[in-house]
Amino acid sequence: MQEHQKIVIIGAGQGGLGVSYYLSKAGLSHLILDRGDIANSWKENRWDSFCLVTPNWTLNFPGKPYAGTDPDGFMKRDDFVRYMSDWAASFNAPVRKYTNVHEVSLTNPGFLIKTDRGDITAEILVVATATHQRPKIPDIAIKIPKNINQLHADQYKNTSELNDGGVLVVGSGQTGCQVVEDLVRDGRDTYLCVGRTGRLPRRYRGRDAISWQKEMNLLDRTPDMLGDLSLRFRPDPHCSGRDGGQTLSLHNFNRAGVKLLGRLEDATQTDLIFGNSIKSDIKYSDDFASDFRKNIDAYIIKTNIDAPLSCANDFEGEQQVGDPSIKAIEKLDFKLAGINTIIWATGFQYDFSWIEAKVTDQMGYPVTDKGYAGIEGLYFNGLNWMTKRKSGILYGFDEDSVEVSNQIISLVNGSSQYDLNSRDKVGENRCM
């Protein structure tokens, strides 16, 4: 007999567990499916020294807000996985682990969910697989000599697992620069292909960058405020939460001996070929940080906030007099450079083609109204920029979880169970 569930959630990350929390509080039976374990991507696809980039105070998980002694610190990978697992256990999240969903189709009404452990029918479905689903590796990779070890950043764990010799990191977004930070600390001979990504100063005028973003409502920006919807997927500006939080800077990397290169454009069996935009891309990173600080300065003046004046530490990672000039290199010989490993920090791609329903835009990205996909019973959660800038980060998933859960509760019971401002009190239906 085919298994039937009233409500199925695909994904046991924060987006799926957030909806599960509120459905559990409302007494609605449901099942969560995940291809791995709880918090699987945090556990399996982060390196050993990884720390959260957002401060601990942003962990406003429903029923388990951060209550430790270091709200301005940055939780380590294993501590965060434990935090999420404990949270899921606190409300007995009904997770069926190691179940891979490979197709969803409409049954009118309801859904047929095909998995590697059998088919399941459901009346309501929540897709919480997030945006970053599959590692993205450029086609150039197939031209790389076989003796060069290649891995995506989500496979990187620590330097001891890499080949001896030099390491080339391709991609200077948040992940790429954090991996370079790890390599530099271990004294590895490191090369970095620089792309057009911003730099976020870790702290400025007495506050963490995330605190300023929250204060200035930058995390509440909505997709319609973007001039181009493709900006939803641009790389996060580089920054680090390691050792209490650090500003990651291409200039600091340069001074530490990292060889900065342009964008990787081609490869042969002997050479790597680079573009010549490195100076303009580094300038973009500098301008990004400068504009961020200027916006904070203007906000402080406009709102008359009592904030300390800027100091030398606020400009950590800036270009300084005496920096060696950075020259565009057109070609690099693998052997002469001693490069034996390439780490592709080239991001991820999303794929929702396994859902046999018209729910995406021209970019293949789900279109929703506060998570509702326009098909009765079908919802999304945890997507980057789903409702606001903060939707895809730890600080914002709870707000979206409430919205999605309210719609489901309303659909099942005809009334809403939770209010955004008072989560354990009955409120008006806000979503349907």
- pLDDT below 50 — which residues of the chain? 322, 420-432
User: What's CA 336's distance to the chain center, in Å?
Assistant: 36
Distance (Å, whole) CA 96 – CA 331:
50
User: What's CA 223's distance to the chain center, in Å?
Assistant: 17
At residue 319, what is the residue type?
Q
Q: Sign of dihedral through CA atoms 272, 278, 282, 284?
A: negative
pLDDT at 424: 43
Distance (Å, whole) CA 432 – CA 407:
6
Beta-strand ranges (E) seen in 236-384 are 259-261, 264-267, 271-274, 331-333, 339-344, 348-349, 355-356, 378-380
What DSSP element (H or E) covers 31? strand 31-33
pTM score? 0.92
Distance (Å, whole) CA 257 – CA 185:
11
pLDDT at 431: 30
Q: Which of 5, 31, 4, 35 is nearest to 19 (CA)?
A: 31
- Classified by CATH at the fold level, domain 3-133+350-413 comes out as FAD/NAD(P)-binding domain (3.50.50)
Q: Which of 166, 153, 79, 103 is nearest to 341 (CA)?
A: 166
Distance (Å, whole) CA 94 – CA 212:
37
Query: Beta partners for 369?
Result: 372
Kind of pairing between the strands at 149-152 and 378-380:
unpaired
pLDDT at 432: 27
Q: Which of 285, 286, 289, 310 is nearest to 209 (CA)?
A: 289
pLDDT at 108: 83
Query: Beta partners for 344?
Result: 152, 170
Query: Beta partners for 10?
Result: 33, 127
Beta-strand ranges (E) seen in 128-248 are 134-135, 149-152, 166-170, 190-193, 203-204, 207-208
pLDDT at 416: 57
Beta-strand ranges (E) seen in 64-148 are 64-65, 95-96, 101-106, 111-115, 118-127, 134-135
User: What's CA 361's distance to the chain center, in Å?
Assistant: 21
Q: Is 2 exposed, middle or buried (CB count within 10 Å of its CB: 0-12, 13-18, 19+)?
A: exposed
Q: CB of 194 within 8 A of CB of 172? A: yes
Domains in the chain: boundaries? 3-133+350-413, 136-344
